[in-house]
């Protein structure tokens, strides 16, 4: 039964056709694929899962991505910017609770005040956590000089999602101007690797106009770009965005969820030693969404430790989960969730991407 799927899962190289086959599976054959992949993945990578305490510290953004609820043209989004003392408190919370790492994320800004503020903040986070808390940042497209400044100040991982590696699809979901340029995004990913960051990217799954072939190409893009970490999840439409007009052309939310899990499992087969995050957007569709991602290939989970009063305002998409829980509730709920997925938390560990060390050893 399901011979073709069995054969593909147990290969060591994968063609685009193989990936399209896996990504598009449904029903019992999909269940079979996920189970086989899970067994293979646990044998190879073990069952450790790493925490990254997520601080979404500001939703001010200078960009206007057509899918995003906090795009600058959305005047109905209530804007906030958490002060540094509160961010430091959140970092200390992550450290004291043995998370190992945090992620600092905000809307995109490249003004000097912002750049200097982040540089100082990174240094202070290192200070208050005895240099032991790992720091990932996700602050968009910047110059090489800025990437270097932030790296020197203590950040060692950077997430910059490509959203779609298909240039023409990328152009359909972004304004057609120099601030939203596909080549600039690729160039930034190259600069991040050159600077020395563990470099992460990701895509949205189930976008209008997107095909299974596009998604297979996204996976091959991660491989070609030698990416160390990936965070990807289902596209969830937001009423206050231009892309909402295509809502009737989208796959059902359930199908977007299924394909997102298929993508995670297929990526784990393709790139066995990278870090893959269980995106929060999965839980917006299925209450067990992140656990399923952990079972079938993800090994990073990001408890939200943003001070609760602001969480509801960082809505890149709608129906975002856990926007009304304090950080304590969130970490308790997540440890139980991770155990339910038969995974073990790597407390106090940075949980760096094994792929990064292999890549940089080869480059040296
Ligand atoms: S996706 Fe990021 S860069 Fe684009 S509008 Fe939203 S916050 Fe800004």
- Tens-digit pLDDT profile for residues 244-277: 999 999 999 999 999 999 999 999 999 999 999 9
Domain ranges in the chain are 19-27+44-363
Ligand 1 probe mutation, 59, 63, 188, most atoms within 8 A of CB:
63
Cβ(173) – ligand 1 distance below 6 Å: no
Residue 189: CB partners within 8 Å, gap ≥ 6?
160, 162, 199, 201, 225, 227
Nearest residue (CA) to ligand 1, atom 5: 71
Q: Is the pLDDT of residue 66 over 80?
A: yes
Per-residue confidence band for 326, with pLDDT thresholds at 50, 70 and 90: low
- Tokens, residue 17: 């056709």
Residue 160: CB partners within 8 Å, gap ≥ 6?
138, 140, 141, 185, 188, 189, 192, 199, 200, 201
d(CA 68, CA 238): 7
Per-residue confidence band for 12, with pLDDT thresholds at 50, 70 and 90: very high
Per-residue confidence band for 342, with pLDDT thresholds at 50, 70 and 90: confident
Instruction: Please say whether the structural domain 19-27+44-363 has been given the CATH code 3.20.20.70.
Output: yes
For the packed helices 212-224 and 253-270, what is the interaxial angle rounded to 10 degrees?
A: 30
CA 43–ligand 1 middle distance (angstroms): 38
Residue bearing the bigger pLDDT, 171 or 316: 171
Cβ(203) – ligand 1 distance below 6 Å: no
pTM assigned to the model = 0.94
d(CA 28, CA 25): 9
Average pLDDT over every residue of 90-119: 96
Per-residue confidence band for 46, with pLDDT thresholds at 50, 70 and 90: confident
CA 312–ligand 1 middle distance (angstroms): 16
CA 361–ligand 1 middle distance (angstroms): 34
Per-residue confidence band for 311, with pLDDT thresholds at 50, 70 and 90: low
Mean residue pLDDT across the chain: 93
d(CA 342, CA 299): 12
Q: Is the pLDDT of residue 322 over 70?
A: no
Cβ(71) – ligand 1 distance below 6 Å: yes
Residue bearing the bigger pLDDT, 315 or 113: 113
Atom of ligand 1 nearest to the CA of 59: 7
Atom of ligand 1 nearest to the CA of 64: 5
Cβ(108) – ligand 1 distance below 6 Å: yes
Q: Is the pLDDT of residue 363 over 90?
A: no
pLDDT of residue 246: 97
Q: Is the pLDDT of residue 328 over 70?
A: no
- Tokens, residue 47: 């069952």
Q: Which of 282, 288, 141 is nearest to 205 (CA)?
A: 282
Question: Angle at CA 249, nearest 5°, toward 243 and 250?
Answer: 80
pLDDT of residue 308: 66
Per-residue confidence band for 361, with pLDDT thresholds at 50, 70 and 90: confident
Cα distances (angstroms) measured from residue 345 to each of 69, 103, 331, 348: 32, 17, 11, 9
CA 267–ligand 1 middle distance (angstroms): 25
Q: Is the pLDDT of residue 44 over 90?
A: no
CA 329–ligand 1 middle distance (angstroms): 28
Cβ(68) – ligand 1 distance below 6 Å: yes
Residue 85, Ramachandran bin (φ over 0: left; ψ between -120 and 50: alpha; else beta): alpha
Residue bearing the bigger pLDDT, 242 or 322: 242
Cβ(185) – ligand 1 distance below 6 Å: no
pLDDT of residue 307: 80
């Amino acid at each position: 039964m399901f011979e073709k799927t069995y054969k593909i899962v147990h290969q060591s190289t994968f063609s685009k056709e193989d990936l399209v086959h896996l990504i598009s599976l449904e029903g019992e054959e999909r269940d079979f694929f996920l189970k086989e992949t899970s067994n293979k993945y646990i044998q190879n990578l073990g069952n450790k899962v790493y925490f990254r305490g997520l601080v979404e510290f500001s939703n001010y953004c200078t960009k206007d991505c057509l899918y995003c609820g906090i795009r600058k043209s959305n005047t109905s989004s209530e804007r906030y910017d958490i002060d540094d003392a509160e961010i430091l408190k959140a970092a200390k919370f992550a450290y004291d609770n043995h998370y190992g790492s945090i992620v600092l994320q905000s809307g995109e800004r490249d003004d000097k005040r912002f750049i200097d503020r982040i540089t100082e903040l990174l240094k202070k986070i290192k200070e208050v956590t005895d240099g032991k808390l790992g720091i990932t940042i996700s602050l968009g497209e910047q110059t090489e000089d800025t990437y270097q400044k932030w790296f020197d100040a203590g950040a060692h991982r950077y997430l910059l999602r490509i959203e779609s590696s298909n240039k023409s699809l990328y152009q359909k979901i972004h304004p057609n101007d120099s601030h939203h340029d596909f080549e600039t995004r690729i160039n930034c990913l190259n600069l991040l690797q050159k600077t020395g960051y563990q470099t992460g990217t990701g895509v949205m799954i189930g976008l209008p106009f997107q095909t299974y072939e596009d998604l297979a190409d996204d996976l091959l893009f991660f491989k070609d770009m030698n990416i160390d970490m990936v965070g990807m999840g289902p596209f969830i439409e937001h009423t206050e965005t231009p892309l909402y007009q295509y809502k009737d052309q989208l796959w059902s939310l359930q199908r977007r969820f299924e394909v997102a899990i298929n993508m995670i499992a297929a990526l784990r087969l393709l790139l066995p030693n990278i870090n893959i995050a269980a995106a929060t957007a999965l839980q917006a569709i299925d209450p067990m969404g992140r656990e399923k991602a952990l079972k079938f290939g993800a090994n990073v989970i990001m408890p939200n430790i943003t001070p609760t009063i602001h969480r509801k305002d960082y809505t890149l998409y709608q129906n975002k989960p856990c926007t009304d829980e304090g950080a304590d509730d969130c970490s308790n709920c997540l440890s139980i969730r991770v155990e339910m997925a038969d995974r073990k938390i790597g407390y106090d560990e940075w949980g760096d991407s094994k792929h990064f060390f292999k890549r940089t050893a080869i480059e040296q």
